[in-house]
Amino acid sequence: MFNLPTYLSSGSQWIEEALDRLVLPADTRPAPLHAAMRHSLFAGGKRLRPILCIAAAEACGAKRGAALFPAAAIECLHTYTLIHDDLPCMDNDELRRGVPTCHKVYGEAIALLAGDALQSLAVELAAQSPVAPLEIVKELVDASGSVGVVGGQVEDMLGESLPPDAERLQYIQQHKTGDLIVCACRMGVLASGGSPDTLEAATRYGNAIGEAFQIADDLLNVTSTADQLGKAVGTDADRGKMTALSVYGLDGAKDRLQKLIQTALASLSGFPGDTAPLAALANHVATRKN
């Protein structure tokens, strides 16, 4: 019987240890830069993206070690986007997961540069995959560029204070959140030598849980407490952000979330290996509390 809490804690510990080995020590010259990179990398992240990457590899019949490099890469890339999102010229957040943000501890300039270096490190790690390194690098940069995560971030900013708009919200969710989640799943398949059909199944799975994840996030922003969430709540409405709630309403958003989980589960028949972790992760995304 598959046990998700055990799987999550074992997976996140495995990722933490891998990152600790793969990222230069905090006293490496220049020390403030490496300390800042490590501050944000080890600030209590749930490691969802690397765990999805591992679970996708396992669903191809591989061991999790096959996805070591892309899993570490996606976490570095995700962390860089968080550091830059938190900067004063962006969301100006002081706290993330209950921990002071990078620029609050190291100053804006070092935080900016720590994000830049983590983006570079992500590619460096992806390029070290023993299987399909070039394909994995391409997957990573396609997901992270001007028509990927960065594009989603810009549309999100442009959408603030605009009237709710389902088409724009789709674009934002797809790119700001979805692209990295799809990328994590696809890289896990690529690192396991999976077939094009399996890669396609990973895309369907990732797209569904990517949007589900964002809707769950939007719901938590109104239904959770700062204590549970480790960051301020109610901030989306304060900023006039376009969210699943402002576009679909509370019931509409919950309904959509359930349908997306069904889509994710239906995609699992496209994987040749053990899909219990991916199935449990899909359900987890919809029901998480923080």
- Note whether 28 binds a second copy by CB under 8 A: yes
Q: Is 183 in the site for a second copy (CB under 8 A)?
A: no
| Selected range binding a second copy among 106-114, 191-199, 219-227, 230-238, rule: CB under 8 A | 106-114
Identity of the residue, 141 or 222, whose beta carbon is nearer to a second copy in the bound complex: 141
Around Cβ 84, how many Cβ atoms within 10 Å?
A: 22
The Cα–Cα gap between 275 and 152 comes to: 29
Which residue from 4, 22, 127, 280 is in contact with a second copy, where contact means CB under 8 A?
127
**DSSP assigned state of 162:** S
Residue 142 found at the interface with a second copy (CB under 8 A): yes
- Binding status of residue 113 toward a second copy by CB under 8 A: yes
Q: Single out the residue of 72, 217, 13, 142 nearest to residue 5, CA to CA.
A: 13
Nearest distance from C-beta of residue 167 to a second copy, angstroms: 11
Pick from 148, 178, 188, 194: which binds a second copy (CB under 8 A)? 148
Give the CA count within 13 Å in the CB-facing half-sphere of 100.
Answer: 9
Burial, 130: exposed, middle or buried (Cβ in 10 Å; 0-12, 13-18, 19+)?
exposed
Least Å from the CB of residue 205 to a second copy = 24
Q: Give CA–CA dist 143/120, Å, rounded.
A: 14
Contact 180, 149 (CB under 8 A): yes
Report angle CA 285, 288, 290 to the nearest 5 degrees: 120
Judged by the rule CB under 8 A, the positions of this chain that interact with a second copy are: 24, 28-30, 32-34, 37, 80, 84, 87-90, 107-110, 112-113, 115-117, 119-121, 123-124, 127, 133-134, 137-138, 141-142, 144-148, 150-151, 153-155, 157-158, 171
